[in-house]
Homo-oligomer: A and B are copies of this chain.
Amino acid sequence: MRRAVLISTRHGHTPALTRTGCQSSWTSSSLLSPSGQGQGQQQQRLLHSKSRDCQEAAAVGTRAKLPENEEAIPESRKGITIADILERRAKAGKLVAMTAAAADSDMFKASQVGKPMAKRWDNHLSAEARIREPCVLKKAAKNLKKPGIISLGGGLPCPEYFPFESITMKVPTAPNFSEAATRTSGKEITIGKYDVSQSASQKDGPVYDLSIALNYGQAHGSAQVMRFVTEHTELVSNPPYADWQSCLTVGSTAALEQALRMLCDRQRGDSILTEEYSFSTALETAMPLGAKVFGVKMDEQGLLPESMDEMLSNWDSTQRGGARKPHVLYTVPSGQNPTGATQGEQRRRDIYAVCQKHDLYIIEDEPYYYLQMHDYAAATKPATIDNFLDNLIPTLLSMDVDGRVMRMDSFSKVVVPGSRLGWITASAQIIERYIRHAEVCNQGPSGFSQVILHKLLDEEWGHEGYLAWLMNLSGEYTKRRDVMMDACDKFLPKQIVSWSVPKAGMFHWIKVAYPLHPDASSKSLLQVEEEIFNLCIEKGVLIARGSWFRAEQHNKISPSSSVPAATTPQEQTDMFFRATFAAATPENMTEAIRRFGEAIKESYGL
């Protein structure tokens, strides 16, 4: 059973292309100049068009009614399958998207008929986000639709001057993913400069090349990679509203900063909720923007919805340093950083319900989503891609009937961090504002990253191969996690140290009983934590201190002296350390945990 089935009976889709709906028509669309290349003629290209029903529905701006002549939505329905996507691609024909081609997810989605439209978020937007205007030069490019027009408009360099004739990469073939297997069964894939124009007549020729990828592109990313992530998002989440969109990012850290600038307004006293312990870089991102961060209590399944509801129901700005009642939740549902906590399906539903009740917008940051793991010390592991998909806990996006979730996906943890490439999925309104910002900052991801990932994930592996890769990776991380659990079991003094086995991600969160420390009466928790940290360094292991991740630690810093200081940060009563099982070799990991155990024992006089 796919996650889509579990989620809601309100979302569903009709089989692709069997009747009028998104993806049912393909018309000519415009591109920026594909000039140069020594051709004497400006060329017009076809690109998958934005389908009409999505456009019109989006223009309404409120939830569209179901057309009366639509068939009733079945009570339960399978999610999108890879076969659906392949069929849709075959019917659409070859993707034609040249230099800086505009694109959006509607070009690649299945029919959304029968789904509601997202809510509008006007009141959630910051002043900065509201007043952004489209780029005037990009607007003018729509005139390039006219056949035979010559552009003297945009300053796009001629690819003749790109000093790369081709790029070849050696990569594993699915499912033989290991380094050893790659050495023997790996494949060399070459990307030429003019592959697309040189094979324009071939039905199955390449759709992306260096002349396109290495020129300026759109801030939302290339149509080629947009197609892949849109389809992948459908396979995994199939959002239950119609006007969802994906667009590429330069990684989730950047996406988070853009999202916070879009949603939080310093002058409005905006603040955000997150887990009691949260990703330190996320906290460091929010702080300079003047957005205070408040932490919600957690258990081993992450943040507690009742606790969040109580905080919000009883919000008092004066008690919170002037912070307005939060209208944004930032959460990492799977393998949360730093606690390793993973929200179960019901937990996610409960959190979503509280966000509906208090009208919170949700930032779902999911770098570790595919690093969900088999049970510790169990032999069960998914045997097929379908098993793998079925075992994934449903995403918040898959439950998002309101369009109140911005899901952030990233290739950093599952392909390479150096790609600086990820994507977000949210309602059309939010994605449009996001792109307006991206146009005047990062301008979208590197073309090298895009074309290389396209060739590997789309042309070489395809969706099936990529899912097989993710499944394999999840197995690898399970093994690493188990090595660390074994080491903890063996070397940590259990009378004072406790933990839950992480079910996803890269992090293990280790609790050490501060009240049992012999100096607890004379030394503060932070002092003991520091002592243990320093003993660890002395003994040769670097481990992260729990206090670094306290959500509310930055609130004491006022963005300007006229704003009153925030409430005193919550008293920290538990002592934690974070250890990653992602990086070190199994031998080193085991030795490192042994050293950590020694440090604790020394501090506690054991």
Contacts and interface: CB of A to CB of B under 8 A. Distances in A.
Interface of A: 33, 35-36, 38-42, 127-129, 131-133, 135-137, 140-141, 143-144, 146, 148-158, 160-172, 177, 179, 182-183, 186, 193, 213-217, 250-251, 253-254, 257-258, 266-267, 280-281, 284-285, 287-290, 337, 412-413, 415-421, 437, 439-450, 452, 456, 469, 473, 476, 506-507, 537, 540-544, 548, 554, 557, 559-560, 579-585, 587-589, 591-593, 595-596
Given A149-B542, A417-B156, A446-B446, A167 B167 contact: yes
28 contacts: A35-B583, A41-B588, A129-B288, A133-B554, A136-B280, A137-B544, A141-B542, A146-B540, A150-B592, A151-B541, A152-B544, A152-B579, A152-B592, A152-B593, A153-B542, A153-B580, A156-B580, A161-B476, A163-B172, A164-B169, A165-B186, A214-B416, A214-B418, A215-B418, A253-B441, A254-B443, A257-B441, A445-B446
Contacts of A177: 163
A285 to B, nearest CB: 4
Contacts of A554: 133
A596 B152 CA distance: 10
A89 to B, nearest CB: 23
A325 B256 CA distance: 33
Nearest to A40: B587
B254 A442 contact: yes
Contacts of A581: 152
A171 B182 contact: no
Given A171-B164, A215-B416, A137 B548 contact: yes
A440 B585 contact: no
B280 A442 contact: no
A143 B542 contact: yes
Contacts of A440: 253, 257, 281, 284-285, 288
A595 B150 contact: yes
Most buried by B among A267, A284, A507, A542: A542
A179 B154 contact: no
Given A151-B541, A416-B447, A420-B445, 19 more contacts: A35-B585, A35-B588, A40-B588, A136-B280, A137-B280, A150-B588, A152-B584, A154-B580, A155-B413, A155-B580, A162-B416, A163-B172, A167-B452, A250-B250, A250-B420, A281-B439, A285-B440, A418-B447, A419-B448
A151 B444 CA distance: 33
Contacts of A38: 585
A163 B448 contact: no
Contacts of A443: 251, 253-254, 420
Contacts of A216: 412, 417-418
A149 B540 contact: yes
Nearest to A588: B150
Contacts of A40: 585, 587-588
Nearest to A193: B179
Nearest to A257: B441
Contacts of A446: 418-421, 445-446, 448-449
Contacts of A585: 35-36, 38-40
A151 to B, nearest CB: 5
